Chain A
Amino acid sequence: NAGVTQTPKFRVLKTGQSMTLLCAQDMNHEYMYWYRQDPGMGLRLIHYSVGEGTTAKGEVPDGYNVSRLKKQNFLLGLESAAPSQTSVYFCASSYDPGGYTFGSGTRLTVV
């Protein structure tokens, strides 16, 4: 019963490097989300998807891109990492909006 799996769990990037965070869910959920969590800010929505092949911008989409080529996977890409993107990233999925299952998070540091 894997639920939502995020990889990697930790990563350190240099400014300007690129990387992709992978989120995989095995619950056949339609909705998937990427959030970032920063101290004192709570969770902020970066991008989300309401189904395979669809993506939409959230509250803080700048500097990130996403893709949902397969229903079970939601990829978050950073094309040119910046120190302001140092954060903990959470992926979530849901059968209907709001009833989330979250991944365990990815701690990203950009130096």
Chain B
Amino acid sequence: SNSVKQTGQITVSEGASVTMNCTYTSTGYPTLFWYVEYPSKPLQLLQRETMENSKNFGGGNIKDKNSPIVKYSVQVSDSAVYYCLLRCGNQFYFGTGTSLTVIP
């Protein structure tokens, strides 16, 4: 089956680098998306990654693979909820989101 897991909360100081994990299990050839939700604003697409080489991993079956997003030198304005979305064919699976808090 397909699933997506994300770390719940991360708090860092301004200027730090932060890695937000997205661990997924997929039975197909997935595409992974990252979205960000700033307070009181709609979701925005951050990046899209197509796993074209996923056939090299168990014939299309992937278990607990991590595809993180890294942000360098974060600012207070980067505080938001970051969502990972897994697409397998016409099926979509959202992670529960990682709440990033950047403190001055």
Which A residues lie at the B interface, using CB under 8 A?
4, 35, 40-45, 50, 90, 92, 97-105
User: Are A99 and B94 in contact (CB-based, < 8 A)?
Assistant: no
Point out the residues of chain A lying under 8 angstroms from B92, CB to CB: 45, 97-98
Is B48 among interface residues, defined by CB-CB distance under 8 A?
yes
Q: Would you give 25 A-B contacts (Cβ < 8 Å), ordered by A?
A: A41-B96, A42-B94, A42-B95, A42-B96, A42-B97, A43-B94, A45-B92, A45-B94, A50-B90, A90-B42, A90-B43, A92-B43, A97-B87, A97-B90, A98-B85, A98-B87, A99-B33, A99-B45, A99-B48, A100-B33, A100-B35, A100-B43, A102-B43, A103-B42, A105-B42
Cβ 8 A contact of A42, one of B41, B44, B83: B83
Closest to A104 in B: B42
B61-103 interface code vs A (CB 8 A; 1 in, 0 out): 0000000000000000000000101010010101111000000
Is B25 among interface residues, defined by CB-CB distance under 8 A?
no
B14-33 interface code vs A (CB 8 A; 1 in, 0 out): 00000000000000000101
The 3 A-B pairs at the shortest CB distance, nearest first, are namely A42-B96, A102-B43, A102-B42
Point out the residues of chain B lying under 8 angstroms from A42, CB to CB: 83, 94-97
Point out the residues of chain B lying under 8 angstroms from A102, CB to CB: 35, 42-44
User: Are A100 and B83 in contact (CB-based, < 8 A)?
Assistant: no
Tell me whether A98 and B43 are in contact in the complex, defined as CB-CB below 8 angstroms, given that A40-B96, A45-B92 are known contacts.
no
Point out the residues of chain A lying under 8 angstroms from B33, CB to CB: 98-100
Chain B: interface residue total (CB-CB under 8 A): 18
User: Are A98 and B48 in contact (CB-based, < 8 A)?
Assistant: yes
Chain B residues 5-60 with CB under 8 Å of chain A are 31, 33, 35, 41-45, 48
Point out the residues of chain B lying under 8 angstroms from A98, CB to CB: 31, 33, 48, 85, 87, 92
| Min distance, Cβ B68 to any Cβ of chain A, angstroms | 17
